[in-house]
A = this chain, B = another copy of it.
């Protein structure tokens, strides 16, 4: 069972609920989020029903959990949500199609700016770029760290594109949240529950990639970990799962898009670059994502893919990027989606 406190609940209200639950023999776990506090109850559900918690001060709602996820479920929240990113409030959600692009890893100011410019010219309105990289090999390039964040921030100033960047260590969240507009949890950390809780409290929208070994249900439970901390500005990202097929790096599970949209109100986008690991598949898989009804895509671009320090073989450029730009303009409108423009005009560029 979950007790959702109202935004103006006091500490005394919260303590009162906890005490009542514990006195009845149950356990209460308090999750203080940015916006609201949620109290998870473990124990005898029938006894909890007898406590009449809903009538206590500061309690907004009491849910009996039927799905293993609750806050992100569409069951009690039938309208699909839109998440707005950055000062300019770029939307991700139903009714729009959001094109996010940028270099896999931030390498230099020039490379990042050029990548952002070709992305923007192709129609992208959000900039992706890695400053802290999770690498399977400890001997691979691990990213520029804070220097990379600064490059991203100055690229945002130059282009007006809000920035999305990955968090790999809870220890870095504070500094990353200073620079970034959206925090990304990578596939390798989807079951790092401590990190999920930490970004849930960071006060920024979160891009949650699906673990390559995770079922859709587990992915939604990971989102629930973030939501429990009071942050419902979560965008899910399908990026391929592990199978026996070797023609692609991972197998893009495009069915995940409609499955998520049926089960959850959260927006869901697709990363065709990391799913396939092949540049020649990015455009057809992006179109497939549009066809499946995705709320957006996130794509690797690089001004000189052959010189990229990270995942060059999948970064788009030139003719492919023009083909993608054309698809982004043509297909989503057929399916009732407008391009995702900033809600408020960006200040600088």
Point out residues on A near B: beta carbons under 8 Å. Answer: 2, 27, 29, 31, 40, 42, 65, 68-70, 134-142, 168-171, 188-189, 191-195, 211-218, 221, 224-225, 228, 241-248, 251-259, 262, 275-276, 280-281, 284-293, 330-331, 334-335
Residue numbers in B under 8 Å from A168 (CB-CB): 193-194
Distance in Å from the Cβ of A11 to the closest Cβ of chain B?
Answer: 21
* Chain B residues whose C-beta falls within 8 Å of the C-beta of A2 in the assembled complex: 139
Assess the A228–B138 pair: CB atoms within 8 A. yes
- A217 to chain B: which residues have CB within 8 Å? 246-247
Asked if residues A288 and B292 are in contact (CB atoms below 8 Å), the reply is yes
Q: Are B191 and A136 in contact (CB under 8 A)?
A: yes
- Measured between alpha carbons, how far is A136 from B244 in the docked complex, in Å? 16
Is B288 touching A137 in the complex (CB atoms < 8 A)?
Answer: no
From known contacts A169-B170, A253-B245, A291-B292, infer whether A139 and B284 are also in contact, taking CB-CB under 8 Å: no
B188 touches A42 (CB 8 A): no
The CA of A134 and the CA of B193, in the complex, are separated in Å by 7
A194 to B186, CA, bound (A): 13
Could you give 18 example pairs across A and B, Cβ below 8 Å? Answer: A40-B138, A69-B137, A135-B193, A137-B224, A168-B194, A171-B194, A188-B192, A189-B192, A192-B192, A213-B244, A217-B246, A217-B247, A243-B244, A247-B255, A247-B259, A254-B285, A284-B291, A290-B291
Residue of B nearest to A255 (CB): B248
Which residues on B sit within 8 Å (CB–CB) of A245? 215-216, 241, 253, 256
Task: Determine whether the beta carbon of B255 is less than 8 Å from that of A253.
Answer: no
CA distance in complex: A178, B134 (Å): 29
> A40: which B residues are within 8 A, CB to CB?
138-139
Nearest 3 Cβ contacts at the A-B interface: A213-B213, A291-B291, A287-B291
Q: Which residue of B lies closest to A211 (CB)?
A: B213
Q: A189 CB to closest chain B CB, in angstroms? A: 6
Q: Is the CB of A280 within 8 A of B262?
A: yes
Other A-B pairs beyond A188-B192, A241-B245, A242-B243, 15, CB < 8 Å: A27-B141, A29-B142, A134-B193, A136-B191, A213-B214, A217-B246, A243-B244, A244-B244, A258-B284, A258-B285, A284-B293, A287-B291, A291-B292, A291-B331, A331-B331
Most chain B Cβ neighbours within 10 Å, of A214, A245, A330, A335: A245
